[in-house]
Structure 1
Amino acid sequence: MFSVTVRDHIMIAHSFRGEVFGPAQRLHGATFVVDATFRRPELDADNIVVDMGLAAQELKGVLAPLNYRNLDDEAAFAGVNTSTEALAQVIADRLVERVRVGALGEGAHGLTGITVTLRESHVAWASYERSL
């Protein structure tokens, strides 16, 4: 299996509901380093997994509506605990949509999977992996 990873970041504010979250139930900020890994079993006709430039551009575009936002105020997240895991899934699903509409080029239609990892710090991160 071949893979290519591109990286960006987002800065958000949010709060959680539930005792399990302790002090994070209060409004707080988070900065995430976001890695998006694109996978396929064989290289495309150009001998690449995906166009890295397009992948980076589309990741940035998917992150833009989240960046510098209080997610508690966003209708798409009403009633949702925007945990690191949940945000990784949202970003992966939005990237899959971009692949399906051709935004990452025709060769990207051969991708078989995407993994999105959000790094909260150098000691903690979460990922969501999905098929295409």
Structure 2
Amino acid sequence: MFSLTVADHIMVAHSFRGDGFGPAQRVHGATFVVEAEFRATALDEANLLVDIAAARIELRRLLDAIDYRNLDTVPEFAGQNTSTEFLCRHIHGRLCAAARDGRLGESGRKVEAIKVLLRESPLAWAAYDAEVG
């Protein structure tokens, strides 16, 4: 299996609902390093998995929708705890759509699986890994 990873970062604000979250129920900030790993069993005729420039541009485009935002005010996230795990799955879904639609280059249509990893700190991170489907 071949893989190619691109990365970027975002800064967000959000709060969580539920007593188990303690002080995180108050609005707080988070900075995430976002890694998107694309995987496929074969390369294209140019020996590429995806167009790395297109993958970086598309990841940035997707992240721009939530970067420097209070996620509590984003209508799409209404009623959700925007945990690190939740955000991984959200970004994963957007990247899958980009791959299927050819926004990662034509070879991106052959991506079989994507893993999205968000690093909250050097000591804590979460990921979502699934087939493009």
Please indicate, yes or no, whether the TM-score normalized by the shorter chain is above 0.5: yes
Counting aligned pairs with the same residue, the percent is 55
**4+ residue segments displaced more than 2 Å:** none
Aligned to 2:125: 125
SS in 1 for 2:121: coil
SS in 2 for 1:3: strand
CA deviation vs aligned residue, 1:41-99 (integer Å, no higher than 9, x gap): 11111101111111000000010010000000010010000000000000010011111
Following superposition, the deviation at residue 19 of structure 1 comes to 1.6
Q: Which runs of 5+ in 1 are unaligned?
A: none
CA–CA separation in structure 2 for the residues paired with 1:95 and 1:52: 13
Q: Could you say which residue in structure 2 is the equivalent of 1:59?
A: 59
**Residue 105 of structure 1: how far off its partner (Å):** 1.3
> Which amino acid counterpart does residue 19 of structure 1 have in structure 2?
D
**Quick one: which amino acid aligns to residue 85 of structure 2?**
E
Counterparts of 2:49 and 2:9, CA distance in 1: 22
Within 5 Å, give how 1:44-123 maps onto structure 2.
44-123=44-123
- State the SS of the aligned residue for 1:99: helix
User: How many residue pairs end up in the alignment?
Assistant: 132
Partner Cα distance (1:115, 1:126) in 2: 10
Structure 2 unaligned regions, length at least 5: none
- Counterpart residue type for residue 127 of structure 2: S
Are the counterparts in 1 of residues 101 and 109 from structure 2 also a CA contact under 8 Å? no
Q: How does 1:34-49 map to 2 (within 5 A)?
A: 34-49=34-49
Alpha-carbon offset, residue 106 of structure 1: 1.1
Aligned residue for 1:120, secondary structure, equals strand
Cα distance in 1 for residues equivalent to 2:16 and 2:60: 25
Shift of residue 20 of structure 1?
A: 1.7
Counterpart CA distance in 1 for 2:42 and 2:115 is: 17
* Contact 2:50/2:107 (<8 A) preserved: yes
**SS at 2:109 equivalent:** helix
d(CA) in 1 for partners of 2:10, 2:38 = 19
- Distance of 1:78 and 1:110 partners within structure 2: 33
Give the secondary-structure state (helix, strand or coil) at the position aligned to 2:16.
Answer: coil
1:44 partner letter: D
